[in-house]
Amino acid sequence: MISEAMRRLGDSPSAIRELFEYGRKRKEEIGAENVYDFSLGNPSIPAPESVGDTIVSLVKEKEPCALHGYTSAAGDLAVRQKIASFLSETHSFPVEREMIYMTCGAAASLTVSLHAIAEKGDEAIVLSPYFPEYRVFCEKAGMKVVEVPCREKDFQPDLPAIEKAITPRTKAILINSPNNPTGAVYSEESWRSLSDFLYDFRKKTGRMVFLLCDEPYRELNWTGKTAPFPPALYDAVILCYSFSKSLSLPGERIGYILVGSNCPEKKAVFAAVCGAGRSLGFVCAPALFQYAVAENLGKTGDLSAYRENREILCRALKEAGFEYAPPDGAFYLFLKAPDGDEKTFCARAKEEELLLVPSTSFGCPGYARASYCVSKETVLRSIPAFQKLARFYQGERK
Amino acid sequence: MISEAMRRLGDSPSAIRELFEYGRKRKEEIGAENVYDFSLGNPSIPAPESVGDTIVSLVKEKEPCALHGYTSAAGDLAVRQKIASFLSETHSFPVEREMIYMTCGAAASLTVSLHAIAEKGDEAIVLSPYFPEYRVFCEKAGMKVVEVPCREKDFQPDLPAIEKAITPRTKAILINSPNNPTGAVYSEESWRSLSDFLYDFRKKTGRMVFLLCDEPYRELNWTGKTAPFPPALYDAVILCYSFSKSLSLPGERIGYILVGSNCPEKKAVFAAVCGAGRSLGFVCAPALFQYAVAENLGKTGDLSAYRENREILCRALKEAGFEYAPPDGAFYLFLKAPDGDEKTFCARAKEEELLLVPSTSFGCPGYARASYCVSKETVLRSIPAFQKLARFYQGERK
């Protein structure tokens, strides 16, 4: 009667959402201040004031039919020009407005890109741990997902493992840096060696592999170095950007797809993006927010709040004896389960009112994800609970 | 290297868009006031002032993280409750908030609904003439499109033709009333006989056929009677609504899917909608506009402008000797090509600077669509051009 695959997907609760709902109930029971909810990656810092100001000016000054009317399918040309100029200047690398397709957020950027490139029998490599929806998006586009674990010591891409997993059917590698859930920021060296390998692979096999770069956390980078700009390091790049985290606008669904300026047959690739957008129902991203983000390029919410949370939490967890992945970017800490059993670890954490997501959801056992996009108070109040959790494991080990 | 189907789709210009682009250039050449551009269905009346006021209040009064944060995947529960209450009251028919899925516009409503129900080998009946993207959306969802012409005398659904076209593989009939491009509003009788037939078909074959009702023009109804509310007339209804036309917000991409309260296994159907939304990347419709439309339910722009255009245009065209479909709703006039050749007719119209879309685009020969969502001045100034066009055909016939 209906698509069983879609029904199952709609009925299967995401582990993250389930935990979040548990948290909601638990807060009602014992008070919000007593639940340390690190479950969701929902920005906790407000959008910069200038975004609100821009929206109000647009509503007051722009003629309503022009403001709320359809833009062209790929987005308003002036908006795309502003983004192209901003990116070109920021990264000292030419970006063309004709290669920018405005989208209704990060998920849309990914699904449209995947449907644009997927052909029957294609495989997509995802580097685990990974955002669970990658599997959903790839499979819906008809691609087989091939998981390749990252190096455990630093959660950088494991090139020898990728070399082993790549096949003539590999169409794309999904790259998410800064990473959800590990917080890793891929180094220039990781990018270079991956890029070199893919050029070499292309020379040997004639097969061009896309790097599909999911970059909603680009600005949430605590390394002090700007993250490499993928189109400058490899040609066949499709970059999926969203303003959700940088401008704290996750609910407004606004982002873009950028096809790299050096991408072979880029016009055909961009046309396929347009075709996929059209056939999935994603033409003309929300107009008001197209104009609003174009006036706020390069701005961010006050990211120092995340930076401070990260410092407090890292210090406290280290002192308590926990191990975690290098917390270089995004707003996630990827904590090692002391005995390697993430399910028990998260269940035990829950008893201390600490809501952590078991890493099983991300295709990688042995860890728990803490999203520190919460208030500083929550972080501070959670420390005794983390300490108690640590003592429990230290006691057990003895 | 990429999906050829998507590339072709992205490269194939829509006839409507092409004409619109021609118009843009032509206006630069001879002045906007001298081109009578009836090509696009882009609302020409401003959004009601209350929409702008609501947006400004939301920005000024709601905490930014709450305003711009993620809502739940199906949309904010309070928003869905308001819509459910509004619909229940307006149509005296129970509507449940749990059966409402907020979407990023009409196209999204349709693609999500189609992917929710489509199974391998399914067919979708579309009633021609029809909005050209229906074919694109159905085929992308893996459905075969079966075109069934409407009755030419009044462009109501042709039940005997539907009876002939239906098969055990028919999963859905797409219904668009008020109709683009004909302007027909399906009568209660049309709905009743279709509904009776489908119940009967179900009894005989065990096959439940969905009515997928695309209703962006619901409020643009000049018959003086409220159009029937599909879920009250048939059980297996998936209603796709958009605020694009009623509130003149086409660029903001905000609408909803409603699964009828009497739909068999409605929870499974709704779950499939959620799953399709998730896998296509359509969760959490744009948040600010979810809140904005919920405060403006039942409001519309000043539709009397369309009504006036319609009256002026109908009178002038009738006097000039043209025939057209019953102009009961939406903002389209479906003009008969005097000699049945719509291509020559539209080309000849272009010589008079009249931009009309040949009905070939809509899967039905012999007509031209005029979108009268333009300024009154454009309508008035276009009349001599229509008269000249009529004289040309009258002269030829002699």
**Chain segment A140-192, per-residue pLDDT in tens:** 999 999 999 999 999 999 999 999 999 999 999 999 999 999 999 999 999 99
For the whole model, what pTM was predicted? 0.97
Same domain, yes or no, for A132 and A241? yes
Among the three residues B265, B294, B323, which one is the final residue of a domain in this structure? B294
Q: Does B82 touch chain A (CB under 8 A)?
A: no
CATH number of the domain bearing residue B241: 3.40.640.10
pLDDT in tens, B291-338: 999 999 999 999 999 999 999 999 999 999 999 999 999 999 999 999
Same domain, yes or no, for A235 and A329? no
Same domain, yes or no, for A161 and A93? yes
3-state helix, strand, coil in chain B (%, to 5): 50, 15, 40
Q: Which of A37-41, A383-387, B92-96, B147-151 has the lowest mean pLDDT?
A: A37-41
Same domain, yes or no, for B278 and B381? no
The pLDDT, as a whole number, for residue A397 is 53
Same domain, yes or no, for B317 and B269? no
Q: Does B235 touch chain A (CB under 8 A)?
A: no
Mean of the pLDDT values across residues A337-359? 97
> Does B397 have pLDDT greater than 70?
no
Same domain, yes or no, for A159 and A196? yes
> Does B124 have pLDDT greater than 80?
yes
Same domain, yes or no, for B147 and B266? yes
Separation between Cα atoms, residue A293 and residue A304, nearest integer Å: 21
Among the three residues A262, A294, A326, which one is the final residue of a domain in this structure? A294
Separation between Cα atoms, residue B31 and residue B314, nearest integer Å: 26
Q: Does B31 touch chain A (CB under 8 A)?
A: no
Same domain, yes or no, for A58 and A121? yes
Three-class DSSP category at A328? coil
**Do B73 and A14 touch, CB atoms closer than 8 A?**
no
CATH number of the domain bearing residue A336: 3.90.1150.10
Mean of the pLDDT values across residues A232-255? 97
DSSP assignment letter at A206: -
The pLDDT, as a whole number, for residue B226 is 82
What residues in A contact B216, CB-CB < 8 Å? none
> Does A16 have pLDDT greater than 50?
yes
Give per-residue burial for A132-164: e unless 16+ CB within 10 Å, then b: bbbbbbbbbbebebbbbbbeeeebbbbbebbee
Same domain, yes or no, for A261 and A147? yes
What residues in B contact A283, CB-CB < 8 Å? 107
Interface with A, mutate which of B4, B60, B65 (most A CBs under 10 A): B65
Mean of the pLDDT values across residues A244-270? 97
Among the three residues A237, A265, A294, which one is the final residue of a domain in this structure? A294
Q: How confident is the model at residue A385 (pLDDT cuts 50, 70, 90)?
A: very high
Same domain, yes or no, for A289 and A317? no
> Does A202 have pLDDT greater than 50?
yes
Check CB contact under 8 Å for A208 and B46: no
Residue A330 sits at the vertex; the CA angle it makes with A42 and B288, to the nearest 5 degrees, is: 30
Give the count of beta carbons closer than 10 Å to the beta carbon of residue B112: 31
Choose among A59, A111, A284: nearest Cβ to B251.
Answer: A284
> Does B13 have pLDDT greater than 80?
no
Which of B21 and B128 is assigned the larger pLDDT?
B128
Number of domains in chain B: 2
Check CB contact under 8 Å for B280 and A278: no
> Does B396 have pLDDT greater than 70?
no
ipTM greater than 0.90: yes
Bridge partners (DSSP) listed for residue B238: B212, B259
Same domain, yes or no, for A153 and A171? yes
**Helix axes of B376-397 and B342-351: crossing angle, nearest 10 degrees:** 120
Separation between Cα atoms, residue B270 and residue B260, nearest integer Å: 10
Same domain, yes or no, for B89 and B121? yes
pLDDT in tens, A65-77: 999 999 999 999 9
Residues 297-336 of B with CB under 8 A from A: none
Distance of CA B56 to the CA centre of its chain: 29
The pLDDT, as a whole number, for residue A396 is 63
Q: How confident is the model at residue B225 (pLDDT cuts 50, 70, 90)?
A: confident
> Does A398 have pLDDT greater than 50?
no
Domain housing A223: 49-294
A181 preceded by a cis bond (ω within 30 of 0): yes
Bridge partners (DSSP) listed for residue A242: A255
> Does B395 have pLDDT greater than 90?
no
Choose among A56, A119, A281: nearest Cβ to B108.
Answer: A281
* Residue of chain B whose alpha carbon sits nearest to that of A2: B117
Q: How confident is the model at residue B47 (pLDDT cuts 50, 70, 90)?
A: very high
> Does B237 have pLDDT greater than 50?
yes
